[in-house]
Amino acid sequence: MVAINQTDLFKEIHDTNSLPFLKPSEERKVCLISGANSGIGFFATLHLYLHGWVIYMACRNEDKTRKAIIDIETEAKKRVQDGSISEQFKGFGEMKFIRMDLTSFESVQKAANEYLSVETSLDLLINNAGVMALPHIITDDGYEIQFQTNYLSMFLLTMNLLDVIKQTPNSRVVYVSSIGHYFAFRKTLLINTFNWAPNFISTWFRYGYSKVYGMHLMKYLSRKVEGDNLFMSVHPGFIMNTGLYDYWLQTPYFGGAFSYFLKHFGNKLGLSNEEGCMPLLKAALSPALGPSDNGKYFAEFGRESPESKLALNENASIEEFVWALEQLQRKGYLKDTKA
Ligand X SMILES: NC(=O)c1ccc[n+]([C@@H]2O[C@H](COP(=O)([O-])OP(=O)(O)OC[C@H]3O[C@@H](n4cnc5c(N)ncnc54)[C@H](OP(=O)(O)O)[C@@H]3O)[C@@H](O)[C@H]2O)c1
Based on the residue annotation, tell me whether 211 is a catalytic residue of this protein. yes
DSSP per-residue codes, 99-127: E--TT-HHHHHHHHHHHHHH-S--SEEEE
Residue number with CB closer to ligand X (216 or 288): 216
Radius of gyration of the chain (CA): 19
Q: Which backbone phi and psi does 252 adopt, to 5 degrees?
A: -60, 150
In the region spanning residues 300 to 329, those forming contacts with ligand X, defined by CB under 6 A, are none
Residue number with CB closer to ligand X (27 or 304): 304
Residue number with CB closer to ligand X (61 or 329): 61
The order of strands in the sheet holding 230-234 is: 94-99, 54-59, 30-34, 124-127, 172-176, 230-234, 297-298
Catalytic residue among 177, 178, 210, 308: 177
Q: How far is the CB of 119 from ligand X (least distance, A)?
A: 20
- Residue number of the CB atom closest to ligand X: 39
> Beta strands of the chain (E only): which ranges?
30-34, 54-59, 94-99, 124-127, 172-176, 230-234, 297-298
Based on the residue annotation, tell me whether 177 is a catalytic residue of this protein. yes
Taking CB under 6 A as the binding criterion, the range among 19-27, 97-105, 221-229, 291-299 that sits at the site for ligand X is: 97-105
Q: CA-CA distance, 193 to 208, in Å (whole number)?
A: 13
Q: What angle, 0 to 180 degrees and rounded to 10, lies between the N-to-C axes of helices 39-50 and 62-81?
A: 50
Q: CA-CA distance, 237 to 43, in Å (whole number)?
A: 14
Fill in the per-residue mask, 35 to 74: x = in contact with ligand X (CB under 6 A), - = not in contact: x-xxxxx-----------------xxx--x----------
Q: How far is the CB of 170 from ligand X (least distance, A)?
A: 24
Judged by CB under 6 A, does residue 102 bind ligand X? yes
Distances (CA, A) of 93 to 42, 82, 109: 15, 19, 26
Q: How far is the CB of 339 from ligand X (least distance, A)?
A: 25
The answer to whether 41 and 129 have CB atoms below 8 angstroms apart is yes
Strand partners, 297: 233
Residue number with CB closer to ligand X (14 or 67): 67
Among 132, 230, 284, 334, indicate the residue that binds ligand X (CB under 6 A).
Answer: 132
Distances (CA, A) of 28 to 19, 33, 55, 62: 16, 16, 11, 25
DSSP-assigned letter for residue 141: T
Q: How many residues bind ligand X (CB under 6 A)?
A: 30
In the Cβ-directed half-sphere of 108, how many Cα atoms lie within 13 Å? 27
DSSP-assigned letter for residue 234: E
Among 45, 149, 294, 317, indicate the residue that binds ligand X (CB under 6 A).
Answer: 149
Fill in the per-residue mask, 155 to 184: x = in contact with ligand X (CB under 6 A), - = not in contact: ---------------------x-x------
Residue number with CB closer to ligand X (21 or 231): 231
Catalytic residue among 56, 151, 178, 211: 211
Residue number with CB closer to ligand X (40 or 174): 40
Judged by CB under 6 A, does residue 109 bind ligand X? no
Fill in the per-residue mask, 210 to 249: x = in contact with ligand X (CB under 6 A), - = not in contact: -------------------------xx-xx--xxx-----
Positions annotated as catalytic residues are 177, 207, 211
Q: Catalog residues that contact ligand X under the rule CB under 6 A.
A: 34-35, 37-41, 59-61, 64, 100-103, 128-132, 149, 176, 178, 235-236, 238-239, 242-244
